Amino acid sequence: MRRELDDAYARVMDSGWYILGREVEAFEREMAAFVGVTHAVGVGNGMDAIELALRAAGIGAGHEVITTPNSAFATALAVVKCGATPIFVDIDPETYSIDPALVERSITSRTRALLPVHIYGQAADLDPLADIARRHELVLIGDAAQAHAATYRGKDVGRYGLASCYSFYPTKNLGAVGDGGMVVTDDPTIAARIRELRNYGQANRYEHVVIGTNSRLDELQAALLRVKLRYLSQQTERRRAIAERYRAQLAGVPVVLPIERNYGTSAWHLFVVRTSRRDELAAFLAARGIATLVHYPRLLPHQPALGSPGAWPVAERCASEFLSLPIFAELADEEIDAVCTAVRTFFGVS
Ligand SMILES: *Cc1c(COP(=O)(O)O)cnc(C)c1O
């Protein structure tokens, strides 16, 4: 892959064209084809992808957007930045994404959109969410920043709803060497609006029809991402194998293992276990050179910048128990085994 990345870099340098050119156009076509949609629009990052998709769908001041308390802060920030108010609905204790059964009680006359997050790489349960969206005339926009190549009922998660939003932050399953993001959609109007919004609200050169922003995927990132996209399926398979190895070796250990719902295939962005002894386990692993993280230790509405009132008992409990074990395509079987041995030792399971 390194050779191909070097070639892509050289191609962009030789072209002398760095913003909105052939590489971005080609990557947009290739990503749209990969997901199975007709339009893809490259933007500056994943947060902008969500904000611009919401704005293109007409969501703004005075509107409410229903989303999950368990996500990256960018999900909530994108809603706030488009002028709307995020309304947080508790999560499903198995998928850790928004619980469709709890959504309807939070719908008000101001609700305009559902913004599920396919957290850790597994699709939120999209059919019931799409049904609620239809009945209440809400738009459904997916935060797929952790779910490149994940599927739901046999189709890529990016094909559900009005639009889906991706991040190419370096640690994502499809990662750039800087920031990047994309909105995919089958709706030509939404795609055209996002193209305007990302480029100062420009419809034609020097004709600004809306108050837009500057949020463009650059040519260099696009060229590198085109190379990486060709490896995405293979790397997703490797992540799946890693997850299976973890699950087999951690069977019988008193932690809650991640469950893959039978409605789709996870992108295995993260491998998140749950235990009430989370902090102790993290320290035990750290002492053995095994780095873990917590996704996420604090609910979005509990972040000081938001401080939204309400109670999310499932998400609160999970946030105190989540621990993400290492998972990335380059992780070797021996490394997985070492992690599992350490976890088994911690719990005294031989
Ligand atoms: C990473 C991430 C984002 C934000 O993407 P950026 O490219 O960092 O702006 C949004 N939502 C989720 C779920 C993410 O994981």
The answer to whether 227 touches 259, Cβ cutoff 8 Å, is no
Element spanning 320, H or E: helix 313-321
Does any ligand 1 atom lie closer than 6 A to the CB of residue 215? Answer: no
What residue type is assigned to position 254 of the chain? P
Predicted confidence at residue 20, as pLDDT, reads 96
Predicted confidence at residue 308, as pLDDT, reads 87
Q: How far apart are CA 217 and CA 164, in angstroms?
A: 16
Which stretches of the chain score pLDDT less than 70? none
Does any ligand 1 atom lie closer than 6 A to the CB of residue 71? Answer: yes
pTM above 0.95, yes or no: yes
Does any ligand 1 atom lie closer than 6 A to the CB of residue 165? Answer: no
Six token digits for residue 259: 């469950």
What's the gap in Å between 141 CA and the centre of ligand 1?
A: 14
Burial of 254 (0-12, 13-18, 19+ CB in 10 A): exposed
Reported for 167-170, long-range contacts at CB under 8 A and 24+ positions apart, including other chains, are 167/45, 167/46, 167/47, 167/49, 167/74, 168/45, 168/46, 168/217, 168/221, 168/225, 169/45, 169/46, 169/145
What's the gap in Å between 76 CA and the centre of ligand 1?
A: 10
Predicted confidence at residue 150, as pLDDT, reads 98
